[in-house]
Structure 1
């Protein structure tokens, strides 16, 4: 083989190798995967009110210790432990026989006092007629007048004793002082109970509808509410017009509503908190005193908020970010200032607009500056999600 032939062979081999490498690159390019898919959606824009959350406890609107007002042996119990009672319902009966006897005695004493009064009146009138003719001494007339006054006082005392005897007999029937749920009996039939002043507690009753929700707010929170009210940005917390939302520990949504009706008159110096109370209607009597709950107190006036799913917010050291997709399909990271949660969505104070396409699913496949394939999604409130 000549040198020329060798050269021609080498050139041909090089050309074939070059063509082979070009074909491989084209095949690699045609086989490259498309950009990863992500779900994007416009932020939800809605008028909302910020809520500050507090933990508290439900308490009865009224609670009464039912006590004996007269002493005696318990004769009857007229309720079932734990039942609902109405004002005036009979609960206990204390042995009435001693009090009936006392009533009869008081009635007899009153009749005797009235008889003495009538006699004193007759003697006084007779003396009045005779004293003018000097047939009776003036001293005798004065004595008859005094006897009549003493008889009048005796009648008043007897009437008071009769009223007391009637009242004591009435107190032998212990009745419910309010509507509510009664507790268990604390004294059984046959036991001696004491009246005032060391009255025996027989049971307790709590009012359930409406019911109170007591909670504490910090001094800082109280000061912020007070300033907002003073500047006219919010209604005063003391006006009894602030609507609140509540939920039980096993609930995610705010299922209950109430009204803030009380703020204490001082901040507790030991804890630095202000005691507050909301009143909640409880027609089904589902809420029970002693239950824990969460209360949402309005922390702002209504405003237009930008809302995104909380899962879409990522952290970069001390910053909070949202991944967005521009018109060319490139991922852009935007620093935001997040606000509170609202019905499962995160409020975004600053950093994005309502026109941004926010990545709400597929964040693990999204890298800032890289291409993605956006798929349309929606942002909905938690109450509307399936």
Structure 2
């Protein structure tokens, strides 16, 4: 009886082993690694800086007669933006012009007398001292006329200062002084501030360790710089590297860099913060995989590579720059054409069998 039970148990257990089935493959999405050129960027936060900011200050004292601009208006270089009462200066100018004419007449008469004295000295009708005195008189009158001319020119300039024009193309800000107020050349407030917006520039800082890469990029030609909005999603303008500062900030370990954006339009506004991407290199024909395929662990970054039999292998990789939705693989850890899992990685391990559902 015991032998019958043992035989029955053996057959039952043996039957269970024969009917056991392998686990179902894990369903994943996969993408084949490709090879492409990947630009290398240095990212930073920058501040839009106007090309020039000019505080318009009067050069003469007087009553502000008119303000000839609208706040926020775009103006051209030489466009009149304010006028100061010039009547007092114009009166002084007329007086100076009258004095000049008087002294010019005196000089002309002195020169005629000198010509007569030069003839009389030959006939012995006058002494040498009389002639010498007349020569000195002519020179004295010439000095007086020269001083009068300078005074007239100075007053003409002063009258010209009463018409204030913009020194640059740009946008004028809010009015700082209302018509009717007395303005002075010693005031630091000014009448208005004109900001030149084109071309726009952006100043940003980069780590001093990147200085070598920047210098190498500059030696190869123009260095492209991209300006994005605060979210880093919308491209605002394309420009190029203009200059690198001559000193490193020792307290922060950074150096300031300036980029210029010639065709930014109204996308870049003075003192606005923007995200800056400066291209300093290009990796030629480098393997890339979707960024979603890269996992992070205690031993670094890794991907799951899918073999021909559907088994996955965990492979550590060294990641590089990002291009769109892809990330460069720098150490050759993934070859072109190899498939990597892009989702379901939390259920995978080396040797796991997978079924690729999407590419």
The alignment's TM-score, normalised by the length of structure 2, stands at 0.91
Give me the whole-angstrom Cα distance separating, in 1, the residues matched to 2:286 and 2:27: 28
Work out the CA distance in 1 between the residues paired with 2:188 and 2:42. Answer: 45
2:307 match? 326
Whether 2:240 is the aligned partner of 1:259: answer: yes
Aligned equivalent of 2:129, options 125, 131, 139: 139
Q: CA deviation at 1:21?
A: 8.5
CA 1:49–1:24 in structure 2 vs 1: closer, same or farther (change >3 Å)? Answer: closer
CA distance in 2 between counterparts of 1:93 and 1:139 reads 56
Which residue of 193, 197, 201 corresponds with 1:208? 197
Are the counterparts in 2 of residues 85 and 176 from structure 1 also a CA contact under 8 Å? yes
Q: Assess, with a 3 A threshold, how the Cα gap between structure 1 residues 194 and 162 changes in structure 2: closer, same or farther.
A: same
Is residue 178 of structure 1 aligned with residue 161 of structure 2? no
The separation in 2 between residues aligned to 1:294 and 1:139, in whole angstroms, is 85
| 2:345 alignment partner, one of 363, 367, 371 | 363
Take 1:67 and 1:341, find their aligned partners in 2: how far apart are those partners? 50
Q: Secondary structure at the match of 1:308?
A: strand
Q: 2:264 and 2:206 mapped to 1: Cα distance?
A: 28
Where in structure 1 do 4 or more consecutive aligned residues deviate above 6 Å? none
Within a 5 Å distance, the mapping from 1:240-319 to structure 2 comes to 241-252=222-233, 254-319=235-300
Deviation at 1:265, TM superposition (A): 2.0
Residues 224, 243 of structure 1: alpha-carbon distance in 2 compared, 3 angstrom cutoff: closer
Shift of 1:14: 4.2
Deviation, 1:362, is 2.5
Report the CA distance between 1:247 and its aligned residue: 1.2
Residues 251 and 270 from structure 1, CA distance in 2 versus in 1: closer, same or farther, beyond 3 angstroms? closer
Specify whether residues 175 and 217 from structure 1 end up closer, same or farther in structure 2 by C-alpha distance, changes over 3 A only: same
Q: Using the alignment, how far apart are the partners of 1:324 and 1:269 within structure 2?
A: 45
Deviation at 1:209, TM superposition (A): 1.0
Residues in 2 aligned to 1:293 and 1:376: alpha-carbon distance in whole angstroms: 38
Judge conservation of contact 2:93–2:155 (CA < 8 Å) in 1.
yes
Per-residue CA distance 1:45-65 (angstroms, 9 max, x = gap): 211221111211110011111
Q: Does 1:76 align with 2:66?
A: yes
Contact 1:52 1:298 in 2 (8 A): yes
Q: Deviations over 1:132-165 (max 9, x none)?
A: 1111111111111111111111111111111111
Which position in structure 2 is the counterpart of 1:236? 219
Deviations 1:299-320 (A, max 9, x none): 3244122222222111220321
Q: Give the root-mean-square deviation of aligned CA atoms.
A: 2.6
* CA–CA separation in structure 1 for the residues paired with 2:149 and 2:223: 54
CA 37–65 in structure 1, closer or farther in 2 if over 3 Å, else same: same
Gaps of 5+ in 2: none
In structure 2, C-alpha distance between the alignment counterparts of 1:172 and 1:257, rounded to whole Å: 42
Q: 1:60–1:211: 8 Å Cα contact kept in structure 2?
A: yes
Please tell me whether residue 153 in structure 1 is matched to residue 179 in structure 2.
Answer: no
Q: Structure 1, residues 89-128: CA drift from partner, whole Å, max 9, x if none?
A: 1111111211211221121111112111111111111111
Q: Which residue of 2 aligns with 1:372?
A: 354
- The aligned counterpart of 2:78 is 88
Does the CA-based 8 Å contact 1:69-1:199 persist in structure 2?
no
Q: How does 1:34-53 map to 2 (within 5 A)?
A: 34-53=24-43
Q: Secondary structure at the match of 2:197?
A: coil
TM-score, normalization by structure 1:
0.85
Q: Using the alignment, how far apart are the partners of 1:93 and 1:199 within structure 2? A: 18
Q: Which runs of 5+ in 1 are unaligned?
A: 1-5, 378-386
Answer yes or no: is the 8 Å Cα contact 2:237–2:263 preserved in 1.
Answer: no
State the Cα distance separating 1:272 from its structure 2 match.
Answer: 3.1
Alpha carbons 1:209, 1:285 under 8 Å: kept: no
> How far apart are residue 23 of structure 1 and its match?
8.4
Moved more, 298-307 or 200-209: 298-307
Q: Flag the 1:33–1:223 CA change in 2: closer, same or farther, 3 A.
A: closer
